Amino acid sequence: MKQHPRAMIAMSGGVDSSVAAYLTMQEGFDCIGATMRLLDSTGQDIHDAQAVAQGLGMPFYVFDMTKSFQEAVMTPFAEAYEQGLTPNPCILCNRHLKFGALLEQAIALGCGYVVTGHYARIQSGERYQLYKAVDSAKDQSYFLYSLTQEQLAHIRFPLGELTKEQARQVAQAQGFLNARKRDSQDICFVPDGDYVSFLRQYTGKNYPCGNFLDQNGNMVGQHQGAIAYTLGQRKGLGLAMGQPVYVCGKDMCANTVTVGPNEALFQKNLLAKDWNWISIPEPAAPMRAMAKTRSRMTEQPATIYPEGEGIARIEFDQPQRAITPGQAVVLYQEDMVLGGGTITKVL
């Protein structure tokens, strides 16, 4: 009887990775559990992950990746905000840690796969292809667009065919202590969502107040530091202008924030860098696809113009609201992820 290869289960302490561990063992894999220590304050999650691993009879490892996490995720996060961008740290963490550093550890321990609780699907043919999860409400394919063919060859997503409720039912049936544990919604190193306080503490800087400008460049008020505002933001501006206004632009050098009406937020064209093609090779000519610029938006029809050197220009058929530099643009063909990149500029 053919022996399954070893698999390392990336265990966060949450219900999804615990169910992924159980399902992988049920398939006959020789499993080991592993948790990445990313912050000094993740003790409870490590304890929960270890308890599930012990209950399943799996060896369990904790890898201290606090330094790597700081260098690959937290510092770029802070630098991006200081440049006027709105970064997506989960994408960086997936690229450099979960499917970078952790995959290296797995291979060093003789494992053929890293298994995670992500809601997405992988299929193999002429090349590995990434697909949306069956549960569209939990789909995480947007955050995985940077995976390479080499990484996809060593990754398994057992929850891709399940709904979240089915995963919880498996966890309850197995008596996992985290079966009803609440999903984390925030950035792990900004648990209260107050990223401005995080930036001040992390960088040791105070970000000075400056001017709110209208679209004609007239001063209309004072802001609390340009880093504290994101494109499309309406709440917390403290401006009385007789009509609702939204953040439409930022000039980090001049420390100004431009506000305007909702219609000023709609644009059709963007440039993106660090492009990664997953399910298809890089196209040699312009192509049509569905695209989205935020994880929770519905994909919209667009034309893609590859420009070489990891750059692509995307032109949407209809203007899209608050396309934000620093975020990802990800392309789909029905449920298949074609690729994606980091938005650098709205044209």
34 contacts 7 by C-beta, under 8 angstroms: no
CB 300 within 8 A of CB 292: yes
Instruction: Report helix, strand or coil for 331.
Output: strand
Give the position of tokens 């995720």: 73
Q: What is the number of other CB atoms lying within 10 angstroms of the CB of residue 29?
A: 22
Is residue 188 part of the annotated active site? The answer reads yes
In order, the DSSP letters of 115-128 are E---SEEEEESSSE
Buried b (16+ CB within 10 A) or exposed e, 147-162: beeebbebbbbbbbeb
31, 90, 93, 111: the active-site residue: 93
- Tell me 284's DSSP state: S
Beta 6-10 vs 111-115: how paired, if at all? parallel
Check if 31 is active-site.
no
193 Cα distance to chain centroid:
16
Write out the DSSP string of 149-194: HHHHTTEE-GGGGS-HHHHHHHHHHTT-TTTTPPPP-S-TTSTTS-
Secondary structure class of 315 (helix, strand, coil): strand
From 188, 209, 248, 253, active-site residue: 188
Cα–Cα distance between 132 and 139 in angstroms, integer? 6
65/310 Cα distance (integer angstroms) = 29
The full 3-state SS of 61-115, as one line of letters, equals EEEECHHHHHHHHHHHHHHHHHCCCCCCHHHHHHHHHHHHHHHHHHHHCCEEEEE
Q: Is 304 helix (H, G, I), strand (E, B) or coil?
A: strand
Contact 134, 122 (CB under 8 A): no
Task: Give the residue numbers marked as catalytic.
Answer: 93, 188
